[in-house]
Homo-oligomer: A and B are copies of this chain.
Amino acid sequence: MEPTSLSDSRQCALGRLAGDVMAPSILLLLVEDEPLIIDVLEEALNDSGFEVVKASNGTKALKKIDADAAKFRAVITDIRLGSEPDGWAVARHAREIIPNMPVVYMSGDSTHEWASQGVPGSVMLAKPFAPAQLVTAVATLVTEADMHPPPPPAG
């Protein structure tokens, strides 16, 4: 695809830099079982300079976290993922491995559970939300996490 706008060419330039000067890229784990929505969210995040690893349910998400949690700069997760484990469990698991992992939840009907099921310092986006809300939340949390590095392992 040809670059057709300033926005595209910027992405290309960043793409090159991501592979060269500024590598590695800024990787996010995005967990959502609705294909249409996950693609829209991925595009919004890509446009903002983030790269995304997608997981369509909780089991796949846990696997990716167990394989290499440290490569993700944030976890973005829907709450209801079709089957167990749900988004609450995914985020909790990520935090057990990386205690300062930024977490953004997205939900339509489970937002009222955030107060009891969410992890400290997380953001809950109530659907419907604007892409800018997701990008601003992720950008803010990733920056804050870098400024307050993780605690030493529990052991």
Binding site for B on A (CB under 8 A): 1, 4-11, 13-14, 17-18, 21-26, 34, 36-37, 39-40, 43-44, 46-50, 92-93, 95-96, 99-100, 111-133, 135-140, 142-143, 146-154
The count of identical subunits is: 6
Closest to A37 in B: B21
Q: Are A115 and B127 in contact (CB under 8 A)?
A: no
The 9 closest A-B CB pairs, nearest first, are: A49-B130, A48-B132, A149-B151, A95-B116, A99-B115, A5-B5, A112-B154, A136-B139, A22-B128
Report the minimal beta-carbon distance from A6 to chain B, rounded to whole angstroms: 6
> Mind listing 14 A-B residue pairs with CB under 8 Å?
A10-B44, A13-B36, A21-B36, A22-B128, A48-B132, A92-B116, A111-B146, A115-B119, A115-B120, A116-B119, A118-B120, A120-B122, A149-B150, A150-B151
